[in-house]
Amino acid sequence: MTGRPVLSVRDLRVSIGSRPIVRGISFDVDAGETVGVVGESGSGKSMTVLSATGLFRAAGAQVTGSSALLGTELVGASRRTLRAVHGDRVGFVFQDPATSLNPLLTIEQQLVEGPRTHRGLTPRAARRRALELLEAVGIREPERRLAAYPHQLSGGQKQRVMIAIAIACDPTLLVADEPTTALDVTTQAQIIDLVAATQERTGMAVVWISHDLGVIGQVADRVSVLQHGEAVEQAGVHEVFDAPRHEYTRTLLAARPVLGRDQRRPIAPDADRVLSVADLDVRFRVASPGGRHTVRAVSGVSFEVRRGETLGIVGESGSGKSTVANALTGLARVNAGRVTLRDADVLAATGARARGIRRSLAMVFQDPFSALDPRMRVEAAIAEPLVEHRLVADGAARTRRVRELLELVALPAEFAARYPHELSGGQRQRVCIARALACEPELVIFDESTASLDVSIQARVIELLIELQERLGTAYLFIGHDLAVVERMSHRIAVMRNGEIVESAPSAELYRSPRTDYTRRLIAAIPPERPA
Amino acid sequence: MSELPSAAIDERMPRPAPGTGRGVIRLLVRTPLSAAGLAVLLALVLVAALGPVIAPYGVNATDVLGALRPPSPAHWFGTDDLGRDILSRVMLAARVSLQVAVVSVAFALVVGTAVGLISGYLGGWVDTVLMRAVDVMFAFPVLLLALAIVAILGPGLTTAMLAIGVVYTPIFARVTRASTLSVTEEPYVKASQAMGTRRSRILVRHILPNISGPIIVQTSLSLAFAILSEAALSFLGLGVQPPQPSWGRMLFDAQGFLGSAWWMSVFPGAAIFVTVLAFNLVGDGLRDALDPRHRTRMGRTARSGSRGSR
């Protein structure tokens, strides 16, 4: 490497109170290079990078060690020094573009802030710069977009604007903290290309933080793998993927869902039909400044699920996949269509019949942190559907059934007395699964149920779900945005777009020979298994 | 003291919380501030209950010759313009003041919370009707509304309690409705709805416990304001009727003697201050102790011997 590194971090330690979060991490970032920092939640990856760049400040936090940006020490630097560095020599892009932009300011006002503060540009020059930047990040009609407010842009466009703001002063270092996590795969691919192109042009150094090894493999030249605040492996990206030295890196790589790696065992050819949905239509009436209008969230959707079978539904945000789940469980009003569970008409049922149907149609939600009542112990949470549907007597019988269910999802019996906040994310999702299985349902709907879990935990939960299905013969409707995860789970997959199913096929067939352009684009946007 | 080595491990292996019931009281007592508040409240209740027995003088025992005496060994809090012992009157007034505060706020709490829950959970036209009614009640100045109620029903202790209760109902309705709206959107409520759980059960088992925080805070604040409202009504001659003492009544009686007999206003005022403070401290402590998440944290800090509450 020529010259000195842009950012040189030595023995960085961060602790909050008496609790160490980052325990002595060192790394260098050279000009024109991307360093990937990867780890699961709680590994200290964001904390490491934010402390190294002086952006982390919290009550009771202590940062020691050294971090030099081209000779300027940032650990323990004065606020004044940091202000001069931030936005000028270091640019930041964060995870959620929806909250990183100020909703009350126009795009122009937010774009010119940096150049005017750090470069002292006149309003006119700053506006020219803003136009240049919007063009550089590939926003069409930049003149018109300058006057727009954040809510008038899509998620991908907002993240482009965030990147434009971050590179407004030609920083020597760009810090990207999970910049694509909140985006759809196709948008993610565009953002990755955009950062790479910008880096090529300006020669800036990039630190890319992500939990997703696939993304890191695509963007990084060198990788630091973090676990419990320590860098357990630091090597070139090819080395990490092809010859991982640390056990943890190997676990992460193995846990990663990869398209076409595993296939589900086929179900019995004569399995009964459990659920059939025909011509489902869900419309929402939306009031906007332009007047009231109707949004067709789901239109003309039909599918069937058989006993022991998983039907996967994939689609990007806004494709209507979650609305299908809500329509089936009565959380969304259905405008037209027929839903039959076994022989019962789900939509027409009322009173006791409807409650019987609810019992056979369970749902597991996306976020295990909020899907459990924080004031209810695990036992009460799991027993809730049992009590509601009067399936089990109080007292010993109930305790026994809860124990059984906990055992089913591989949790120790003493967890029954715990509160949700005393469990980890994976454990909570297991509790949610136990609750869904409590009434021995015919069909369980999983709405992005593994999306918010760490990869290693996600892999274990998926194994558990497959094992349970093979043992109990329950039918699953598995909804997700990650094609690789859905493919691992499902026998058949339906691809949704704009409220319609555009393609539906057995999993293996779908990814080997996709029939529509949209499916092909979805598959192409998935980060490859190994770096190119 | 066994501190866990890292945040990551701590996240994965959290410690179980102490149990409910007795555990709540134990945690409440362990936090110094709420323990102090609880002690003061217990003492007040005791005084209110035993007032006539332990008060050194009769409540209306006048002694014109000994009027307006400053605090002395014979009269610890001094005497008023009719020579009545202020300590005895403050002790006896505790019963009236506490009674008015507790009864009126209990009324407001029950009615207001019910209205807010129904309004927030059902939404639609029920919500519109109930909330517009609440808006109308809000539009009246508090005291004017109380005055109107007293004017219709005639002055007296019962009317005062009812009037104060009605006046504080809309606040509870609003606080409850707002919290209900946000909790109703929580995934765990959606999850319960998807299971086919009945509305009444969702309201009682999921929503009510999770909105108890703001309601408890509102209750302790309202108890404080209710004591002051009672004082104002009594001053206008519409609440507690003389010669029965109440702290508010005593305060206003003392008005003419602010310059000459400071003890006449300071001691009833201090009684109000201490009571209000105690209600607030206990309210804050209760809110934390009832939340399982806080309970774990409080239990942990209490165990490791460092400082309390939040």
ipTM of the complex: 0.77
Does the distance separating the beta carbons of B4 and A363 come in below 8 Å? no
Least confident of A66-75, A168-177, A448-457, B300-309: B300-309
Residue A221 makes CB contacts below 8 A (sequence gap 6+) with A33, A34, A35, A236, A237
One domain for residues A429 and A463: yes
Selecting from A42, A355, A371 the residue whose C-beta is nearest the C-beta of B188 gives: A371
Question: Does B309 reside within a domain?
Answer: no
Least confident of A55-69, A221-235, A451-465, B224-238: B224-238
Question: Does B290 reside within a domain?
Answer: no
A244 touching B, CB under 8 A? no
B150-155: Cβ within 8 A, 24+ apart: B150/B233, B150/B238, B150/B239, B155/B237, B155/B238, B155/B239, B155/B241
CB contact at 8 A, A373 and B188: yes
Nearest to A161 by CA among A204, A110, A202, A114: A110
One domain for residues A40 and A100: yes
| Residue A350, CB-side half-sphere exposure with 13 Å CA sphere | 1
Question: Does B255 reside within a domain?
Answer: yes
Q: Which residues of A touch B3 (CB under 8 A)?
A: 18-19
CB contact at 8 A, B6 and A20: yes
From A200, A226, A255, the end of a domain falls on A255
CA distance A240 to chain B (A): 23
pLDDT at res. B1: 34
One domain for residues A251 and A277: no
Range of the domain at A500: 273-525
Which residue of chain B has the CA closest to A362? B195
Low-confidence ranges of chain B (pLDDT < 70): 1-23, 296-310
One domain for residues A290 and A174: no
Selecting from B195, B198, B209 the residue whose C-beta is nearest the C-beta of A375 gives: B209
pLDDT at res. B12: 40
Does the distance separating the beta carbons of B206 and A329 come in below 8 Å? no
Beta bridge partners of A495: A314, A503
Q: Is B152 helix (H, G, I), strand (E, B) or coil?
A: helix
Question: Does A262 reside within a domain?
Answer: no
A96-105: Cβ within 8 A, 24+ apart: A96/A182, A97/A155, A97/A158, A97/A159, A97/A161, A97/A162, A97/A182, A97/A183, A98/A150, A98/A155, A98/A158, A98/A182, A100/A158, A100/A162, A101/A150, A101/A158, A101/A161, A101/A162, A102/A150, A103/A149, A103/A150, A103/A151, A104/A149, A105/A149
Q: Per DSSP, which regions of A239-309 are E strands?
A: 273-288, 291-306
pLDDT at res. B6: 31
pLDDT at res. A29: 94
How many domains would you assign to chain B?
1
CA distance A418 to chain B (A): 6
One domain for residues A519 and A393: yes
One domain for residues A144 and A212: yes
pLDDT at res. A2: 53
Q: Which residues of B touch A432 (CB under 8 A)?
A: 191
Report the alpha-carbon angle B62-B68-B69, nearest 5: 100
Q: Which residues of B touch A373 (CB under 8 A)?
A: 188, 192, 205-206, 209-210
One domain for residues A175 and A285: no
- The model carries a pTM of 0.81
Does the distance separating the beta carbons of B3 and A18 come in below 8 Å? yes
pLDDT at res. B310: 34
pLDDT at res. B140: 81
Q: Which residues of A touch B2 (CB under 8 A)?
A: none
Q: Which residues 313-332 of chain A have a CB within 8 Å of chain B?
A: 329-331
One domain for residues A239 and A299: no
Q: Which residues of A touch B196 (CB under 8 A)?
A: 330, 354-355, 357-359, 385, 388-389
Question: Does A1 reside within a domain?
Answer: no
- The 10 Å Cβ neighbour count of residue A270 is 7
Selecting from B7, B12, B197 the residue whose C-beta is nearest the C-beta of A21 gives: B7
Question: Does A383 reside within a domain?
Answer: yes
Report the share of chain B in percent with pLDDT over 90: 20
CB contact at 8 A, A249 and A236: no
Does the distance separating the beta carbons of B292 and A419 come in below 8 Å? yes
pLDDT at res. B10: 32
Least confident of A52-66, A308-322, A455-469: A52-66
One domain for residues A248 and A292: no
pLDDT at res. A155: 83
Does the distance separating the beta carbons of B292 and A329 come in below 8 Å? no
Cα–Cα distance, B240 to B97 (Å, whole number)? 9
Percent helix, strand, coil in chain B, to 5, is: 75, 0, 25
Cα–Cα distance, B122 to B300 (Å, whole number)? 39
Residue A84 has pLDDT above 70, yes or no: yes
Question: Does B213 reside within a domain?
Answer: yes
Mutate to test the interface with B, among A48, A326, A375 (most CBs of B within 10 A): A375
Q: Taking the CA atoms of chain A, what radius of gyration do you get in angstroms?
A: 25
Question: Does A263 reside within a domain?
Answer: no
Question: Does A470 reside within a domain?
Answer: yes
Residue A508 has pLDDT above 90, yes or no: no
One domain for residues A44 and A121: yes
CA distance A224 to chain B (A): 18
Which residue of chain B has the CA closest to A457? B12
Does the distance separating the beta carbons of A228 and B9 come in below 8 Å? yes
pLDDT at res. B25: 74
Helical residues (DSSP H) of B15-156, grouped into ranges: 22-30, 32-54, 86-122, 124-139, 142-153
Q: Is B25 helix (H, G, I), strand (E, B) or coil?
A: helix
Cα–Cα distance, B27 to B288 (Å, whole number)? 9
CB contact at 8 A, A329 and A361: yes
pLDDT at res. B307: 36
Tokens of A323: 């609305």
- The 10 Å Cβ neighbour count of residue A355 is 16
Range of the domain at B187: 60-276
Q: Between A and B, how many residue pairs show a Cβ–Cβ distance under 8 A?
A: 114
Tokens of A337: 């269509």
Q: Which residues of B touch A372 (CB under 8 A)?
A: 188, 191
Strands of A273-288's sheet in order across: A291-306, A273-288, A336-341, A344-345
Selecting from A355, A370, A376 the residue whose C-beta is nearest the C-beta of B186 gives: A370
Cα–Cα distance, A385 to B289 (Å, whole number)? 28
From A221, A255, A289, the end of a domain falls on A255
Question: Does B34 reside within a domain?
Answer: no
pLDDT at res. B9: 30
One domain for residues A426 and A359: yes
Residue A531 has pLDDT above 90, yes or no: no
pLDDT at res. A156: 84
Helical residues (DSSP H) of A167-306, grouped into ranges: 185-202, 213-219, 237-242, 247-255
Model pLDDT for residues A353-367, shown as the tens digit of each residue: 888 888 899 999 988
pLDDT at res. B138: 84
By the 10 Å C-beta count (0-12 exposed, 13-18 middle, 19+ buried), A410 is classed as middle
Question: Does A508 reside within a domain?
Answer: yes
| Alpha-carbon torsion angle B236, B241, B245, B251, nearest 10 | 10
CATH of the domain at A376: 3.40.50.300
A362 touching B, CB under 8 A? yes
Cα–Cα distance, B168 to B113 (Å, whole number)? 11
Q: Is A5 helix (H, G, I), strand (E, B) or coil?
A: coil
Question: Does A532 reside within a domain?
Answer: no
How many domains would you assign to chain A?
2
Confidence of residue A246 (pLDDT cuts 50, 70, 90): very high
Question: Does A530 reside within a domain?
Answer: no
Q: Is A294 helix (H, G, I), strand (E, B) or coil?
A: strand
One domain for residues A200 and A309: no
Does the distance separating the beta carbons of B194 and A372 come in below 8 Å? no
Tell me how far apart the terminal alpha carbons of chain A are, to the nearest angstrom: 22
Which residue of chain B has the CA closest to A364? B191
Does the distance separating the beta carbons of A384 and B192 come in below 8 Å? yes
CA distances to A417, B27, B28, B201, B295 from B291, in Å: 15, 11, 12, 20, 6
CA distance A90 to chain B (A): 28
From A204, A221, A255, the end of a domain falls on A255
pLDDT at res. B297: 64
CATH of the domain at B91: 1.10.3720.10
Tokens of B151: 């004017």
CB contact at 8 A, A364 and A436: yes
Report the share of chain A in percent with pLDDT over 70: 99
Cα–Cα distance, A272 to A241 (Å, whole number)? 43
Question: Does B44 reside within a domain?
Answer: no
| Alpha-carbon torsion angle B17, B23, B28, B30, nearest 10 | -80
